[in-house]
Amino acid sequence: MLAFLGLVVASLLALGASAPLQGTSTRKKLLLVSFDGFRWNYDQDVDTPNLDAMARDGVKARYMTPAFVTQTSPCHFTLLTGKYIENHGVIHNMWFNTSTGQKLPYYNTQRVSAWWDNGSLPIWITAQKQGLKTASFFFPGGNATYRGEEVNIKRVEKGGLLHKYNNETEWRENIDLVMKWFTKDNLDFVALYFGEPDSTGHKHGPESQQRKEIVSQVDRTVGYLRQSIKDHGLNSALNLIITSDHGMETVQKQDEIHLQKVANFSFQDIQFELVDYGPHGLLVPKPGKLEQVYEALKDAHPRLHVYKKEEFPKRFHYANNTRITPLVLYSDPGYVIHGRLKVQFNKGEHGFDNEDMNMKTIFRAEGPAFKRGLEVEPFESVNVYALLCKLLEITPEPNDGSLNATQHMLLRSAGTAMISSPRFTWEMALVLGSQLLVWDAWSRLLAMGSW
Ligand SMILES: [Zn+2]
């Protein structure tokens, strides 16, 4: 009888450990799409029938608040890790070394694993460690190695002047390949990146006709993507999230901030500078010069904010990292920071305060896990990661977000087969019931002394 009791307990333990119970996972696939620099209200002055249809069939956030600094690589790494930028350490689009003065531009920085792999694992690697197959298509962070492991399949954006970022045909080919990855290669998670409408927003400004046209192109691409998902029979097997990293602000060309012209300030006193990058600046004064530089700059321009690292406003969750320099600068919406020479000519820019409405971005989702026709209140992008992990049924790494911010988007049945938290299901009840029936018969036999 004790042996039999052991058998029952063992069966129940086995059930708990091997959820989901059906033998084949109920896990849905997940496609995370980012259209770089898609401001939250870009669909309000352009006809966007496909994004509208997606909102009717799924969930739309009024807007999403990105992390600060509102740059591409830092904000995408927040999506992938669920951490504020000071906690994941990818604090700038550019890799730099304050001792040697070396800097690398955005595309070259994609290859510098040490810049990305500094303590936080992106969701690709966490998912792979838990048995899933993943891919990155041009996604920032997708070209790095993390603790010796890289994403299963990747495509890396080349960058440079020759690459045409807004080639709609190429966008569709990229989607076709992603569909193949899901259907033929049976991937669980793909992160897919498009460099627009960011490029057009920078070049022509967020209020330009060109920006409206590229948003129409994004919308057609969303239509093509949704139709492809249908055509590949993935409708009930794949959850789709479309989001972005930040918005876009029109650049002010009057009353500009130009450090070279500030009285009592000299680049002679600076050991390392990273300025001329929109509204953001990092400075390392030469030894003994910090106070002097700080005093010269702090009231230099009413639109310029200069902080010692330790006094940088906590709400930005940005300065508490060893990579942040002793002085941190940022400027008000629309104003960029020029350094020695004026070399910034963009009509649109980002990198501003994440509370600036023009930095807010989009979040849309649909698929078997999501409610339909639901518009939700804004939330911070740091919470997206917890949602991705829930959808993929994986255990998240420690992060700064919470599923509480997004859980109300999900249907009750979504992601119930979490391996880390098996639920008591009908299958378990049936098995337990049948075991108890056997037990009962067994007891009766024993009581009858027929053994
Ligand atoms: Zn961006």
Q: What are the domain boundaries of the chain?
A: 29-248+353-409, 257-345
The catalytic position among 48, 65, 70, 72 is: 72
Assess contact for 427 and 26: CB atoms under 8 A.
Answer: no
Q: pLDDT tens string for the chain (451 positions)?
A: 444 444 444 444 333 333 334 445 689 999 999 999 999 999 999 999 999 999 999 999 999 999 999 999 999 999 999 999 999 999 999 999 999 999 999 999 999 999 999 999 999 999 999 999 999 999 999 999 999 999 999 999 887 666 778 899 999 999 999 999 999 999 999 999 999 999 999 999 999 999 999 999 999 999 999 999 999 999 999 999 999 999 999 999 999 999 999 999 999 999 999 999 999 999 999 999 999 999 999 999 999 999 999 999 999 999 999 999 999 999 999 999 999 999 999 999 999 999 999 999 999 999 999 999 999 999 999 999 999 999 999 999 999 999 999 999 999 866 554 433 334 444 444 444 455 444 444 444 444 433 3
For residue 216, how far is its CA from the centre of ligand 1 (angstroms)?
A: 18
**Torsion over CA: 211, 216, 222, 225 (sign):** negative
User: Cα(266) to centroid of ligand 1, in Å?
Assistant: 31
Helix boundaries (H) for 94-140:
106-109, 113-116, 123-129
- Which fold does the domain 29-248+353-409 belong to in CATH? Alkaline Phosphatase, subunit A (3.40.720)
Q: Is the pTM of this model over 0.85?
A: yes
Supply the DSSP symbol for 361. Answer: B
The Cα 31–Cα 191 span in angstroms is: 6
CA angle 39, 68, 298 (to 5 degrees): 115
Cα(421) to ligand 1 centroid in Å equals 36
Structure tokens at 227: 């139709």
64-65 and 379-380 beta bridge pairing: parallel
Give the distance (Å) from ligand 1 centre to CA of residue 46: 21
User: What are 295's two structure tokens?
Assistant: 């005093």
Which residue from 221, 240, 245, 191 is spatially nearest to 55, judged by alpha carbons? 240
CB 347 within 8 A of CB 251: yes
d(CA 367, ligand 1 centre) in Å: 26
Backbone angles phi, psi at 34, to 5 degrees: -120, 125
**Ligand 1 centroid to residue 144 C-alpha, Å:** 18
Q: What separation in Å is there between the alpha carbon of 37 and the centre of ligand 1?
A: 5
Contacts of 11 (CB under 8 A, 6+ apart): 431, 435
Ligand 1 centroid–CA 199 distance in Å is 9
Fold of 257-345: Gyrase A; domain 2 (3.30.1360)
d(CA 23, CA 282): 54
d(CA 86, CA 76): 14
Q: Distance from the CA of 291 to the center of ligand 1, in angstroms? A: 34
User: φ, ψ for residue 427 (rounded to 5)?
Assistant: -60, -45
Q: Quick check: 393 and 27 in contact, CB under 8 A?
A: yes
- 120 — phi, psi (to 5°)? -115, 135
26 in catalytic set: no
Characterize the bridge pairing of strands 327-331 and 304-308: antiparallel
